[in-house]
Amino acid sequence: MKLAHQGKSATWSKGENKGPLTSCNLLHLTDLYQRYYVAVLPEGGIVNTPDETRHETDERCSMNMIAEQDIDSVVARLGSTEELSMDRLFEKMDGEQHPVVDYLYEVEGDDLNQDERDMMINFSIIGWFIISEILGCSGKVTDTFLGSQLERNADLLEEREVELGDFEDALISVLPEYSGQPVLMGFLANLVIDRPEEYTGDIRNEMIPVIIMHIKTVMDCLILGDESRVEEAADTPE
């Protein structure tokens, strides 16, 4: 599995990017994230954080636990108005987090086919929208942070595979690391793995873990905001 941050520099450009495809039927998304809850959540099931216990840890991003109900409510709004169409959300994410969009267009180079890249972008937009709506994250992610976080995630996955002796178990186990959001990461991973039946794109099985790890890297960076919170996240007791 190749995880290479291609073209990491301040001069990244989307070039002639046309934006993400919308071949994924959003009406089916709320049915897709059950399988991974058991795998990524602590014993006892889904963690729900009551509204009255929510608090801001700093001016950029709340560190609340995103719950199933949160995802339900946000996903239900996708596509409900023109402003919440995937094209408009893509434009907004590009304006607010341009290095993230460049990363998604450049990472892995030609090793990803167009359908795989479009899917990675689409599901990253959904993750960004959930994070923005529920956590209020607005810290600007840099290309340097994306590159260093990708390296941390790749190293962690390799270490966990040696520890557990199974690649799939290792992949599942690293999903909530750094972000501290097991429900969100399980949801996004499941979107990649269990795509709607209507989705007709050419997605190769060997690229699924690569796509998941890049989506994870983007979510980690959006939630943490910058390098200063990486060590704190890594040191947080489970």
Residues 19-36: pLDDT tens digits?
333 333 333 333 333 333
Q: What is the pLDDT of residue 40?
A: 38
What is the mean pLDDT of the segment spanning 97-124?
Answer: 95
Our CA angle for 227, 158, 41, nearest 5°, is 75
Q: How far apart are CA 223 and CA 139, in angstroms?
A: 8
pLDDT at 117: 96
Q: How confident is the model at residue 219 (pLDDT cuts 50, 70, 90)?
A: very high
Residue 2, pLDDT score: 47
Name the one residue in this structure whose structure tokens are 């209507």.
198
Using a pLDDT cut of 70, give the percent of the chain over it: 69
Q: Which residue has better confidence, 52 or 114?
A: 114
Q: Where are the domains of the chain?
A: 96-238
Instruction: State the pTM of this model.
Output: 0.75
Please report how many Cα atoms fall inside a 13 Å half-sphere around the Cα of residue 57, on the Cβ side: 13
Q: Tell me, what's the pLDDT at 123? A: 95
Confidence of residue 42 (pLDDT cuts 50, 70, 90): very low
- % of the chain surpassing 90 pLDDT: 57
Contact 81, 88 (CB under 8 A): no
User: Torsions phi, psi of 98, nearest 5?
Assistant: -60, -40
Residue 12 neighbours by CB under 8 Å, 6+ apart: 99, 102, 103, 106, 143
Average pLDDT over every residue of 63-78? 89
Q: What's the pLDDT at 118?
A: 94
SS3 229: helix
